[in-house]
Amino acid sequence: MTEEAESPRRGRGAALDLALKEDLDLFSVGDLEERIALLEGEIARCRAQIARKAAGREAADALFKTPGD
């Protein structure tokens, strides 16, 4: 019994790096519009995550705030 070699794990953002390097000349107008919609969705998802993290940070700061600050 032989073990299959595991494929190397891609780092954070690797998929985005690959997408940024794609040749856009190969895409149709419809494909590009779909791509833009997907990217806009991803931007919204990132902004929502930033807001959640900022809220968590503000809550932690408020909890550990020393009196008189």
Instruction: Give per-residue pLDDT as tens, 23-61.
Output: 999 999 999 999 999 999 999 999 999 999 999 999 998
State the residue range of the domain holding 40.
Answer: 28-69
Report the pLDDT value the prediction gives residue 29, as an integer from 0 to 100.
Answer: 98
Instruction: Determine the pLDDT at residue 17.
Output: 94
Q: Note the pTM of the prediction, 2 decimals.
A: 0.70
Q: Is residue 23 part of a domain?
A: no
Q: Tell me if 6 is assigned to some domain.
A: no
Cα(13)–Cα(61) distance, integer angstroms: 29
How many angstroms separate the CA atoms of 20 and 39, rounded?
A: 11
Q: Please state the domain count of the chain.
A: 1
Average pLDDT taken over every residue of the chain? 89
- Asked if residue 15 is part of any domain, the answer here is no
- Maximum CA extent, the chain: 68
- Let me know if residue 68 belongs to a domain: yes
Whether residue 42 is contained in a domain is answered as yes
